[in-house]
Structure 1
Amino acid sequence: MFFQGWSGILRVLVVGALAYVAMVLFLRVSGKRTLAKLNAFDLVVTVALGSTLASILLSSSVALAEGVAAMLTLIGCQYIVAWSSVRSRRVARLVRSEPTLLLRDGEICERALRECRMTEAELRTVVRSNANAEPSEVAAVILESDGSFSVIPSPEEGRASFAETGLRL
């Protein structure tokens, strides 16, 4: 249970080092976009790569070559989808989600909350954790396409409000 022999440890060390080198090389070749987590698809690829690396390291039934092929497949698919979404609006709409405005100048957008399956209490938690404020003290809260929240503080005296800036979401 605590120790099954040196061969398993040696396998993890050798295969782990080789899989790590392969992952670094693939990520360098594929570019920064592979791990950018700009949308849900990017996040899924990042998690899948981590899971694949863990399988290579810890499962003796997964050969290094199979694991490297799996990583290469994931990175290749992500590259093709990202490349296609830059060149085709149809593909971009299919893969990317648009940011959603949940709160504007202190007013909660009820419809947007329902569409995002969020409660007002959850939105208040986001505001408190990001701005230490109440919703009435915040210019905007945006649910970004990667699932993170952007909280834009209310402008200072004499500066334009969020609505007056002309920004549209």
Structure 2
Amino acid sequence: MFVDNTWLDIALRGVLLSAAAIVWIVLLIRINGLRSLSKMTNFDFVMTVALGSLVAGAAQASDWKEFGQTLMAMGGLFLVQFLAARIRKASDAAEDVMQNEPVFLMRDGKFLDDALDKTRVAKSDLIAKLREANALDLSCVRAVVLETTGDVSVLHGDGLDEIVIENVKEL
């Protein structure tokens, strides 16, 4: 595919192919919508990681066939994500199968040790998340939730509207 394997050829190939892959991803995002690279579900997170890997593969492609296959794989990921979102929206049963439930790690200022054990979250990591959220007084922490994406949400203040914790599971 390329002229030779000098350092200049290798450098130019990497820059041009990675730039082309990025342009392709931007085009796919414009077609599929802004949600494409969100981290709202575990599918979205996997999509983002896989795209990064595919960009690296595209930048290292040794011929046009390999490069084209990588671009088609990116398109396939966007299609699978689009279809999964449609199926989840259309069916509660599919939603239950495809999506994990968020889990309480703390409630009303108390650590939930069983939940920490079952989710394999270290208490020290949870404390770091409390500091990150500026939770200055544990008695003001209404809930800490391990979200389906692996993010940790710290809910603190004077009150807590039940709708905010509607689908959160207690272990």
TM-score, shorter chain, exceeding 0.5? yes
Seen in structure 2, the aligned counterparts of structure 1 residues 120 and 21 have a Cα distance that, compared at 3 Å, is closer
Please list the CA deviations of residues 91-146 of structure 1 after superposition, one character each: whole Å capped at 9, or x if unmatched: 21122122212212112223322221223333222212222424333122111221
Select 2:52's aligned residue among 50, 53, 62: 50
CA separation in 1, counterparts of 2:126 and 2:28? 39
* C-alpha contact 2:42 2:149 (8 A) present in aligned 1: yes
**Counterpart position of 2:100:** 97
After superposition, the CA RMSD in angstroms is 2.1
CA separation in 2, counterparts of 1:78 and 1:70? 12
> Is residue 2:53 matched to residue 1:20?
no
Select 1:67's aligned residue among 46, 57, 70: 70
SS at match of 1:151: strand
CA separation in 2, counterparts of 1:19 and 1:129? 35
Please list the CA deviations of residues 16-55 of structure 1 after superposition, one character each: whole Å capped at 9, or x if unmatched: 2322221111111111222111122211111100110111
Query: Size of the alignment, in residue pairs?
Result: 160
* TM-score, normalised via structure 1 length: 0.82
**Counterpart position of 2:35:** 33
Deviates more, 1:132-141 or 1:23-32: 132-141
* TM-score, normalised via structure 2 length: 0.82
Identity fraction in percent: 31
Query: Aligned letter for 2:107?
Result: R
Runs of at least 4 residues off by over 4 Å:
none
Select 1:113's aligned residue among 113, 116, 131: 116
Alignment of 1:157-168 (within 5 A): 161-162=159-160, 165-167=161-163, 168=166
Unpaired segments ≥5 residues, structure 2: none
**Counterpart position of 1:158:** none
Deviates more, 1:54-63 or 1:90-99: 54-63
